[in-house]
Structure formats: structure tokens, C-alpha cells
Amino acid sequence: MDQSSHGNKTMSISRRRLFALTTTVACLLLSCNRTENPSVTEAPMSPETISSFQLDQHDPMARAVDGERYEALVPDTLDLADRMGLSLNALTSAWLPEERWALGFNVDLSRREAILRNFRITDAYLNIPPKFLEAMVLCRLASGSTRNLSVDRQVLASRLALVGEDGLSYAPSDTLSRVEGERGHAEVWGEGRMLIALSMLAQVDDDPRWGELGRRKVDRLLELTREKEGFRYFWTGRFRPAQVLPADAGEPTPESFSYMYDHVSFNPTLALVYSMGSAGHGAALFHRVTGYAPALELARGLARWALTQVFFNPDGRYDFYHFHHGLYALIAIT
């Protein structure tokens, strides 16, 4: 047998690697069980203070990679921390700086060199980038890697620049001219995902902006829900600045999420899951991290709605086309 597969090797590691998997799972599922004192309030910041916040003199990821570094003899087996450090290369290399740091979510590998592309404005700016921010925090925390660390700040600053006066993030209208589709809107899935990313940032960095921005988002999302018989729902998944909840807003239907076209036509139930999955999960996580009571109100209302309208089979069975949408909905109700 090849000796390298069973021998020992010397490598430079951070102490964080010794509990990488435990830390990652705890942060992702249990939010490190951290709750701030909800009775302690901070002076609210203006939207301009949040959106114009430049990160050139403050690195929110710095604490995620802090720690003593030393050499140790470890088994020559698969190193999860190394893998998470390696993944940072992909997480930080999929962006288009010239397009206000749009995410190139699709990669054309048939070209030499491979080309980053995006076919949807929501994927480039609203729904998917917060997933990358969350993963950046967790991978830096678990691996201690500083690979492309400056990219994290640029990506985060570009997301803050999209925040409107009401706290929601709106797709820009002056970029990706070749990409068709609606502009200038916020989307419920992206808002929930951003609440998760802000919850991660709040756990590794003590800057109050993460909590303040999260509170603004929660307050606005509550305004855009309708309360009915002890539960809450969004009547649609896209919102315009200063949009008012219609007096006749009904529960979400596939038709009210028609902009998702192929997803909804493939599985109409997906629209219902999409309307509450990430928002419910994000609000619940944000409450666990900050103790902000309205976030729990939002999460609880959406979870109750999901239990009556989505997860209603007595045997617990459910069938959704998109695995992650179903997963986030399950996390939201737990």
C-alpha cells in the first residue's frame, strides 16, 4: 500500500481546525446558542450610514481567522478544515467586480478559459450572494484561511450598497445590460438569506451595523405580511420600494409567483415553500443570535402557516422539486 495514505505528515494549522466540524455545525444549526440581552437597545442608524459603510478600515472577517498558529503532527487523513479553506477559492473567485460585484453563478467550462455567467438579476445580486457570504464566514472560521480575504470585504460592501431606506435590498438597474428581467425590486428569498448572513457576521464581529440592518429587514418584512388566524404569510415574493400591503392580499398561490416561471410550472407547491422558507429560517436564526422579539414573531407566524398549508401530510411526507427550498422550510418550522 502507498505509505502516504496511512502515514503522518507535518502541517501548519490553526487551533480552530481541531474543532472545525463542531464549530461549523454549531454555527449553522444552533447559532452557537448565543443570545444577546433583548432589553439592551442601541441607537438606530440611518439607512445612509448602513449602505455607505465602507469596509476599507474595518474587516468583519478578521476575527474569524484570528488565533494562534503552530505546527503539529496529525494523521494523514482527509482534513475537513483544509477542504473548507480550499472552497474559499471558489467562493471568492465567482464575482464580476466590473458589474458591481455581481455573482457569476453559472460557469461555462466549454470555453478556454472558463467564463462566468449569470442569467438572472436575482441570482446575481439578491438571492444567491448571501449564501456565499454565510459560507465565507463559516469557512474562514473553520479553516483560518486568509485566502483572498480582501474579496470578502468587497462583496459585503457591494451588498450593503443595495440596501434601500426601508432596509430591504433592491436589485440595481445599471448593471448586466445583457441580462433580461425585472429590476429595482427586493425578493423575499434573498431577504431571508441575508438575515442568515447577518446572523453569522454578528457572531464573529461586534460591529452594531449587522444587528441594526437585520432589525430593519425584519420590521419591513413584518409590514409586508398578513396575519390570519395566528399565522403569517407573504402574498407575493417581490416588493417595490414603499410598496403597501394590498387590502385584498390573499395567501400565496403559484400565480402570485409567476415570475419564477419554470420553477412554478414544474412544481406549483414550490411557490408556497419559496414564500416562507428562507425568511422563516433567517428570522428565527436572527432572533436566536440577537434576541430581537419581532424576528421571533415573524418566524413563528410563517412556521405556523407552513404547518397548515405546506407540511400537512400526517406521515410527514413532502415532495418539492427544489431540495434546499424544502430544507429551509423544515428548518424554519423547527
Q: Is residue 4 part of a domain?
A: no
Q: Is residue 214 part of a domain?
A: yes
- Give the CATH number of the domain where residue 164 resides: 1.50.10
Q: Is residue 240 part of a domain?
A: yes
Instruction: Compute the CA torsion angle 314, 315, 316, 322 (nearest 10 deg).
Output: -110
CA distance 207 to 60: 8
Q: Specify the amino acid at residue 269.
A: T
Q: Is residue 85 part of a domain?
A: yes
pLDDT for residue 111: 83
Q: Is residue 306 part of a domain?
A: yes
DSSP 123: I
Instruction: Compute the CA torsion angle 263, 265, 268, 273 (nearest 10 deg).
Output: 10
CA distance 318 to 177: 39
Say if strands 106-108 and 115-117 run parallel, antiparallel, or are unpaired.
antiparallel
How many CA atoms, within 13 angstroms, populate the side-chain half-sphere of residue 18?
Answer: 11
Statement: the pTM of the whole predicted model exceeds 0.85 = no
Domain span at residue 247 reads: 10-333
Domain count, the chain: 1
Q: Is residue 40 part of a domain?
A: yes
Contact 189, 237 (CB under 8 A): yes
Q: Is residue 284 part of a domain?
A: yes
pLDDT for residue 253: 75
Q: What is the pLDDT along the chain (334 residues), one digit of tens a residue?
A: 333 333 333 334 443 443 333 334 334 433 433 334 333 344 455 555 555 455 656 778 888 888 888 888 888 888 888 899 999 999 999 999 999 999 998 888 888 888 888 778 989 999 999 999 999 999 999 999 999 999 999 999 999 999 999 999 999 999 998 888 889 999 999 999 999 999 999 999 988 989 999 999 999 999 999 998 888 999 888 999 999 998 888 888 777 776 665 554 556 666 667 778 889 999 999 999 999 999 999 999 998 888 887 777 787 777 666 667 777 777 777 7
- 319-to-186, 256, 260, 324, 328 alpha-carbon distances in Å: 27, 21, 18, 12, 14
CA distance 108 to 111: 6
User: SS3 of 243, please?
Assistant: coil
Q: Is residue 280 part of a domain?
A: yes
Q: Specify the amino acid at residue 5.
A: S
pLDDT for residue 319: 66
pLDDT for residue 64: 87
Rg for the chain (alpha carbons), in Å? 21
